[in-house]
Structures are given as structure tokens and as C-alpha cells.
Amino acid sequence: MTTPVRLRAVSAPDQPDVTPALEDLYRGFERELLVPLWTEIGDLMPVHPRSKARPHVWRWDSLRALAAQAGEIVPVGRGGERRAIALANPGLGGRPFATPTLWAAIQYLMPGENAPEHRHTQHAFRFVIEGEGVWTVVNGDPVAMRRGDFLPQAGWAWHAHTNATAAPMAWIDGLDIPFQYLTEAQFFQPGRDELSDAERATPDRSRAERLWGHPGLRPVSGAAAPDTPGSPLLAYRWAHTDRALADQLALEAEGYQGTLEPGHAAVRFTDPSSGGDVLPTMRAEMHRIRRGTETAPVRETGSSVYAVFDGSGRVSVGDQSWSVTRGDLFVVPSWEPFSARSQAGVSDSDSGALDLFRFSDAPVFEALKLYRTQSPGTLS
């Protein structure tokens, strides 16, 4: 689709005087498909990032209910391929973009259903807010999905999902679809229609975990050398994540360093073959904010999506603020200040802590030397 250039000479302090000569110039620009910087600089080159995306929260109850409703009437299969329902940021034109670079969706699989095998260059992960019973089969390796598990799946890996139980299951998908859409990097390939019997197995641990899931150890075998662009470890289990967070808070209580700030523990999911981010374009972390703690406001270039994994609290994003509870999702656009407070009493967890899962596009910013952050004390 071809779009013309349309320029309008306006009378404004920073603009050239509106004269017939200027109008004539602008008509020439339009004819030749040109746009002058002086009409655009305010939008294109702001003093600091002013995101098109807006702070917004999506409620788990609504998401879950609509996903279940879709489960009843929309088939999974070729065409849509997945029963995935994406967050559409209200500032991004009604497109299924949670932020300018990130896709976040709820995916829903009915008992006995299979999402067919395919692969794509978009990097992806699953994160489980509740439930269990689905195995995601990545390059032939069945990986159980259970509450609290984080399951990365690097670009161009074959994958299918199969619900081996009698209950439906929902989970969160994160992908870099908007980023690859904007940069126009995407490839997609459909796979086989049916999985093999071996792929329909429902082991407790995946083969990837058996090879790569031992702390500080890597297999020496050449066969195990990762050939994908992301982590060879396909599941990060909640038991490990939970223990790591509890350890940090316990160290703090004993007087040692370990937390990110007082009362705020945080771990990052990493590629054990490199120690770096789990996926080339996405960072994923789990944060725990102890009962009664409020984090210091911070802002960063790049955007994040948060999911409340456990507990309740109140979060502030830019000029917005919401009470949130399990399963709620919200976005933090580029350079918007963010802070969170746990709310004991409201929480239905024993600890009163607020557990937040977060993913962001930080690896893009770091790789290209565009990452900036403003430390809490310097925010006004």
C-alpha cells in the first residue's frame, strides 16, 4: 500500500514563516516523497523517551474468562495455530502489542487438545500463573508446564503443545513479535501434523533439564553444545526460583548482601551456557517484594510487561496506580517511573509478599548500547 506525503505549513514559533514560497516548497517535497526534519523533530527526537504505549493493567479474571469462552468456540489448528489472546496496549493503535516491542498473551488449551507443531524466528517463552497438565514439545523434547515455571523457547525451535489432562489449562505467552514485525525479521514454518508417541510422553523432567539443569555444571558432550540462539535449558522450575528468592531475603535478614534493595529480592533467568539473558531479545526475571515493602521508583529505556504471580499490592507506573492481585498483567512503557508495594492483609498468601514476574526488551537495548536507567535517588 502506497501512502502519500502530506505536509501542512503552520504558523508556530519554531516553524518557517508561512509564505507562498514555503507552500511551493512543501508541494515539491510531497511530489518527491520527502519530509523535512523541522516539522517532525519534536516527535522524532524528544528530550527523553515519551512512549506511545500507555501504562495499563489487564485483569486475570477477565482474561481467564474470555480465554475459556474462546476455548468453547474457537478451534486450535492450522490458520490461527494457537488459541492465544494478546494484550493490545491502548496507545498502540488497536494492534496486539503490549508494548512497542513485546507481545503478551494468554494461551488456552482444552483437555486433549494439541496446538500443532511449527517454528518461527520470534523468540518466545511460557510462564504459568496457575494450573498444569500441558506439555510443550520443543525439538521433540516434552516439557511439563506447572504453576510458577518459566519455559523459554528460542527462535526457530520446533514446538507444539499438548494437553494431556482432563482439564483446560491457561498460561502466559511472551514473544518479541512486535520487535520482529517492526524490524521485519520474521520467518515461519509449519511442522508435522502429528507428534510421535515418544513426544507424547509426559515425563516429570525434560531431557533439556537433565542435561542443563544442574547448578554450575554443563555437559562436556559436543552433542549438548547449544545450536540455538537462546538457552538450551527449557524449563526453570518454580521450586528453584522460589528458593533463590527466599535465600536472598534470608541473607538480607542475616545482615548480608543479596537483595536488589531492602526487602526486594530478584533473580534473572539466564542461559547457562553463557550466563547472559535467556533469549537474545527478551529478559525475564522474578521479583519478590517482602510484606510491607515499597520499592524505590526507577525508570529505564525499554519496556516491560509484569504479571502478578502471587500476593497483592499496589503498583505505580508513570501517573497511573493500581491495586493488583494474582494473574493481573500490566505494562511499564519506556522511561516511565515504576514502583511496587506489597499489601499484607489483602494478600491471600501466607507471607504477605508480592511476587512479580517481569519480562522486558532490555537485551536489545544492552546489545545496541542504548540502555539507560535512572537510579531511584535521582528521580524527582
Interface with a copy of itself in residues 19-58 (CB under 8 A): 19, 21-22, 24-25, 28-29, 32-41, 44-54, 56, 58
Under the binding rule (CB under 8 A), the answer on residue 263 touching a copy of itself is: no
Using CB under 8 A, which of the segments 129-137, 160-168, 255-263, 310-318 binds a copy of itself? 255-263
Distance CA 109, CA 112 (A): 8
Instruction: Among 147, 164, 165, 219, indicate the residue that binds a copy of itself (CB under 8 A).
Output: 219
- One-letter amino acid identity for 285? E
Q: Of the candidates 322, 19, 323, 328, which has an alpha carbon nearest to the alpha carbon of residue 172?
A: 328
- The reply on whether position 216 binds a copy of itself by CB under 8 A is yes
DSSP state letter for 237: -
The only residue of 60, 335, 357, 359 in contact with a copy of itself, by rule CB under 8 A = 335
The verdict on 330 binding a copy of itself (CB under 8 A) reads no
Sheet with 338-342, side-by-side order of all strands: 320-324, 313-317, 338-342
Q: Is 197 exposed, middle or buried (0-12, 13-18, 19+ CB in 10 A)?
A: exposed
Residue bearing cell 500476593: 311
For residue 368, what is its C-alpha cell? 545496541
What length does the chain have? 380
- Among the residue ranges 128-136, 157-165, 187-195, 314-322, the one whose residues contact a copy of itself (CB under 8 A): 187-195
Q: Applying CB under 8 A, which part among 162-170, 319-327, 342-350, 369-377 lies near a copy of itself?
A: 369-377
Secondary structure (DSSP) of 310-379: ES-EEEEETTEEEEE-TT-EEEE-TT--EEEEE-TTT--SSS--EEEEEEESHHHHHHTT---EE-GGG-
Q: Which of 196, 202, 274, 323 binds a copy of itself (CB under 8 A)?
A: 274
Point out which span in 86-94, 159-167, 308-316, 344-352 binds a copy of itself (CB under 8 A).
86-94
Q: What part of residues 294-323 is at the interface with a copy of itself (CB under 8 A)?
A: 301-303
220 binds a copy of itself, rule: CB under 8 A:
yes
What distances in angstroms separate CA 36 from CA 6, 14, 15, one per listed residue?
11, 13, 11
Q: Which of residues 89-148 bind a copy of itself (CB under 8 A)?
A: 89-96, 100-101, 105, 120-122
**Min. distance of Cβ 136 from a copy of itself in angstroms?**
16
**What residues have CB less than 8 Å from 36, skipping those under 6 apart?**
7, 29
Greatest distance between any 2 Cα atoms in the chain: 76
Region of 183-191, 306-314, 319-327, 345-353 interacting with a copy of itself (CB under 8 A): 183-191
Q: Which of 60, 236, 309, 338 binds a copy of itself (CB under 8 A)?
A: 236
Minimum distance from CB of 345 to a copy of itself (Å)? 27
Q: Applying CB under 8 A, which of residues 55, 86, 133, 359 lies at the interface with a copy of itself?
A: 86
Residues 167, 194, 214, 262: which binds a copy of itself (CB under 8 A)? 214
For a copy of itself, give the closer residue by CB, 78 or 194.
Answer: 78
